[in-house]
Structure 1
Amino acid sequence: MHRRTFLGRAAFGFALTAMPREAAAAPVLHVDDPDFAAVVDRDARLTSLYSEGRWCEGPCYARHLGGLVFSDVRSNRMVLIGDDGKTRTFRDPSDNANGNTLDAKGRLVTCEHRGRRVVRAETDGSLTVLADRYGGQPLNSPNDVALAPDGALWFTDPIFGISMPDEGIVREPAQAARRVYRIDPDGTLTGMSDALDQPNGLAFSPDGRRLYVSETGASLNPEGARAILAFPVENGRTLGAPSTFATLDAGVPDGLAVDADGRVYAACGDGVRVYTPDGRRLGRIATATDAANVTFGGPDGRRLFIASGPAILAIDLRVSGAAHG
């Protein structure tokens, strides 16, 4: 989830190569480290695939569905952009769907704000509820979801979908905390961490031994945290004490993705920031509007899809995304 309208925009950094403003399809690459060249070609193009949303989120590339599925949270629907470039409505209404991923069998899993639940789409089109209550009480508003190497699904549960009327139904939280949860392959739901104020995007390292989670407490509290935390994952199912992987001076990090070499891609107010596994910032792919989420996909897994305000953007990289499941 974005919440940067509360915070204002961070100023864009210095661009090594000045790009003409009229070339809207060309990315502005902000280079912080020469190793950024291993990620993206300086001549790579940023293409707009869709521009009719209200707030686009949860991009998920699903080859068997024919392309990229994403949520338009505030329009209460989901859209599919086919590999042929054509768009069609995928689910309407969507219960203010947000994050999406594929499970270990390739089925689409979706976080719903309005339903306060995580659901799985079956081959016949029906939805199976994977999680909607914890400790006998409704969840807050599941936000983003990721597949772990062992086939478990992990998701975040902040309060954005029950505090913003255009993204769900305003209610008082029933949970005492905003947690990161794990859904075992057998369906068992476990609260894994309540260490974050407002957990948001999440992604695993390629070997599954580290979980990255966006802390977006500053979205609702200007004095709150705005960082990416890294949790060690022990035995595939236990989280150790988190460490700060990266911090922001303004705005908040949102959706996360990881490439096959372990680099971390964070959707932020000024575009997609790219970090090495040890937290060194390589550079940024600037977007005209706040970036909310990011994922890899395409025929060879090297296309980076960016949900950015009303738009879905894409850029081809030199690296592919990490594969789980």
Structure 2
Amino acid sequence: MRRSASVVLDGLGDPGALRWHENALWFSDFAHGTVHRWSGSGSAETVVEVPGGAGGLGWLPDGRMLVASMDGGRVYRLEADGRLVEHADLRRLVGGPVSDVLVDATGRTYVGNYGFDYIEFARRQPNSMLYAPPGPPRASLAYLAPDGSLLDVSDPLVFPKGYLISADGSTMVIAETIAMRLTAFDIRADGTLANPRLWASLISPSLWRLLNDSGLAGRITRRVSTLLDRPAIAKRSASPIAPDDLAWDSDGRTIWVANTLRGECVRVAEGGRILDRIATSQATSSCLVAGRDGRTLFIATAPVDAPDLARELGGGRIEMFGL
């Protein structure tokens, strides 16, 4: 029997960027452009509204919060007195909405972006057409110093969304959503990333080759994929998996993946073996293993991934499963 998460918060827009900070769950609502804090009971508190819409979250070592402005091309910093100030202006570097934010123990910050306007693309064309050669635009992560100045940028990635740093600080794992894979990097002493390698492929190699084929086989595969891109079909499928946000399991070795293709989170071992699946009530965008016991899987879900429609529907949820 497939295990399922329970809904603990409802009536949101499009929640995501789940974080655990100071014994509370924090998250952004992409549809409303706001950051929220939930203590575990009652409703969530609205912390701040972000110009350009709230994206990824993180905290500097001194406790000040950083939040991405998805459509504003910036990272903002929430001061102790409640003022929201510009931390970094990334507009000349990004090709689409600014997405996730990861702050390491020293205050260095990693910030990604889509590389193109995915929502507008999805309005005009089926998702499968993203794989028509030359494929989707790529995007680099920006490396920021603790003061917000730009240190460097990474090599281009395919729609980087979720990022994790290993417990020993030596490795970063990044979800390349559209490539349906997790990629690992060594973290150099200066914080830059090196030695990219496949951590887990979440699509069969043969299907990946066909999706990206420039000839007749590719055109047929993309057309069939479009025909099969229906919620009722996706709900009953086990593969492929498009990783959105990521979370280390409590074992520190395996990774929980929010599968943006259907309502589930999956636990993946290095190499790609699927160890667990937790069903959700609707499509997932973010996951986090945290809580006061460190063994609760929090999951952000929404009925649609278009922020304007999600705002109208008000069906976003936080779901929870005890591990």
Q: Could you say whether these structures have the same fold, taking a TM-score greater than 0.5 normalized by the shorter chain as the test? A: yes
- In structure 2, what is the equivalent of residue 263 of structure 1? 254
Whether contact under 8 Å (1:61, 1:68) holds in the other structure is yes
Change (3 A) 1:137 1:206: closer
Where 2:183 maps in the other structure, the secondary structure is strand
Instruction: State the identity %.
Output: 27
| Structure 2 segments unaligned to the other structure (5+ residues) | 121-136, 204-239, 303-315
Please, which moves more after superposition, 274-283 or 98-107?
A: 274-283
Amino acid at match of 1:83: G
Question: How many angstroms does 1:313 deviate by?
Answer: 1.0
Match status 1:158 vs 2:114? yes
Match status 1:202 vs 2:156? no
Match status 1:252 vs 2:242? yes
Point out 4+ residue stretches in structure 1 off by more than 6 angstroms. none
Where 1:114 maps in the other structure, the secondary structure is coil
- In structure 2, what is the equivalent of residue 100 of structure 1? 57
Please, which moves more after superposition, 112-121 or 187-196?
A: 187-196
Amino acid at match of 1:287: T
- In structure 2, what is the equivalent of residue 185 of structure 1? 146
Question: How many angstroms does 1:58 deviate by?
Answer: 0.9
Q: Distance in 1 between matches of 2:183 and 2:94?
A: 26
| Structure 1 segments unaligned to the other structure (5+ residues) | 1-17, 20-26, 29-45, 166-175, 218-224, 318-325
Whether contact under 8 Å (1:132, 1:139) holds in the other structure is no
Question: How many angstroms does 1:273 deviate by?
Answer: 1.5
Whether contact under 8 Å (1:130, 1:187) holds in the other structure is yes
Whether contact under 8 Å (1:77, 1:96) holds in the other structure is yes
- In structure 1, what is the equivalent of residue 268 of structure 2? 275
Whether contact under 8 Å (1:150, 1:236) holds in the other structure is no
- In structure 1, what is the equivalent of residue 129 of structure 2? none
Whether contact under 8 Å (2:6, 2:319) holds in the other structure is yes
Change (3 A) 1:139 1:120: farther
Q: Distance in 1 between matches of 2:43 and 2:168?
A: 35
- TM-score with structure 1 length normalisation? 0.70
- In structure 2, what is the equivalent of residue 35 of structure 1? none
Change (3 A) 1:150 1:263: farther
Amino acid at match of 2:189: N
Amino acid at match of 2:246: L
Match status 1:144 vs 2:104? no
Q: Distance in 1 between matches of 2:98 and 2:197?
A: 23
- In structure 2, what is the equivalent of residue 316 of structure 1? 322
> Which residue, out of 172, 177, 184, partners 1:211?
172
Question: How many angstroms does 1:206 deviate by?
Answer: 1.1
- Pairwise CA RMSD: 2.7
Please, which moves more after superposition, 257-266 or 194-203?
A: 257-266
Whether contact under 8 Å (2:26, 2:38) holds in the other structure is yes
Where 2:164 maps in the other structure, the secondary structure is strand
Where 2:106 maps in the other structure, the secondary structure is coil
Q: Distance in 2 between matches of 1:229 and 1:201?
A: 11
Match status 1:226 vs 2:180? yes
Please, which moves more after superposition, 76-85 or 141-150?
A: 76-85
> Which residue, out of 280, 284, 292, partners 1:287?
280
Amino acid at match of 1:187: G
Question: How many angstroms does 1:278 deviate by?
Answer: 5.4
Write out per-residue CA displacement over residues 159-184 of structure 1, whole angstroms, 9 at most, x where no aligned residue: 46x4536xxxxxxxxxx951112112
